[in-house]
Every structure is written in C-alpha cells, then in structure tokens.
Copies of this chain bind each other. A is one copy, B any other.
Amino acid sequence: MLTKKAKYALLALIYLAKHQNDGPVLIAQLAADEKIPRKFLERILLDLKNAGILQSKKGKGGGYSLQESTDKIMVGDVIRLMDGPIAPVPCVSKTAYAKCKECGDEASCAIRVVMKEVRDAIAEIVDNTSLTDMLKMANNGKRVSDYAI
C-alpha cells in the first residue's frame, strides 16, 4: 500500500513541475493548493531535497523547485525514498535484500518465486515512469508513450 507520504511527495513533485517557470514555490502555497498538512509536507520536501531531487532557497523570495529534470525523476525512486523497498518480501528486494527467516531454503521457497515476479512487475512500471510521463498522464488521463519491455 502506498502511504500518504509517498502520495503527497508525488503530488508535490507534479505541482512543482507544473510551476517550474514561476520561480521557487512556497511550502505554504503548495500545502494550501494540494491540501497537504503543512508540517508534514515540510518533512517530505526536506527528504526530497536531501535526496537531490529538489532544491530550496531560504529567506524572503525563497521556496522549493526541482533540481533534476522531470525525465530523470522516477516514480520508483520517490516511492522507495518515502516508503522503503518496493519488494513485498525482503528476500526478493534488490535495493534492500534481507533473508526471510520463515522460509528455510530460499532455493525451494515457492513464496519467494511468486513474490520475486511481483517485485519485478512493480519495478518494471515504477522504474520506467518519470515525472515527465506523469505530467502527460495528467493531461490525457492515460499513459501516452509506452516504455519498452
């Protein structure tokens, strides 16, 4: 399940992408327009900044703006940053592997095989969808150009 944190992060990124030409965006403005609790949003934006996705400017006339180009910002990276690994079980995670104690032998664990397929299917989508893609979807209501499988 996608947490609200990740959802807010994606909403914020879409918002910032749409306002790229307006200079830095205020946290207060973003919070009000997207109806995100302000203090919670501060935390999220800070995390995105520390990950190098956003940049900020302090003081009067400050605010947040994108640091990377919209086609470099991947949905998968944002979700991992906010919610942690995508894999449904740790033993199939590529970015945060950990052995599952429940399944004795990994090689013969059927759950692991199925969950690996699930992980790969999710990653295939979220790691090939950029903020650029999402902007197009917001206009069309559907995916425009498919990614290559």
| A110 contact from B1, B125, B138, Cβ within 8 A | B138
Q: Does A14 contact B (CB under 8 A)?
A: yes
Docked-complex contact A110 and B2, CB < 8 angstroms: no
Q: Please, which residue of chain B has its CB at the minimum distance from the CB of A136?
A: B110
- CB under 8 Å from chain B, chain A span 24-70: 35
Among A35, A121, A124, find the residue whose CB has the most chain B CB atoms closer than 10 A: A121
Q: Does A98 contact B (CB under 8 A)?
A: no
- CB under 8 Å from chain B, chain A span 110-143: 110-111, 113-115, 117-118, 121-122, 124-126, 129, 133-135, 137-139, 141-143
At the interface, is chain A mostly helix, strand, loop or mixed?
helix
A contacts with B, residue count (CB < 8 A): 40
Within the oligomer, what is the number of copies of this chain? 2
Q: Please, which residue of chain B has its CB at the minimum distance from the CB of A89?
A: B2
Q: Does A107 contact B (CB under 8 A)?
A: yes
Q: Please, which residue of chain B has its CB at the minimum distance from the CB of A137?
A: B110
Docked-complex contact A114 and B126, CB < 8 angstroms: yes
Q: In the docked arrangement, what's the CA distance between A111 and B3, Å?
A: 12
Docked-complex contact B7 and A89, CB < 8 angstroms: yes
Cβ of A108: which chain B residues have Cβ within 8 Å of it? 138-139, 141
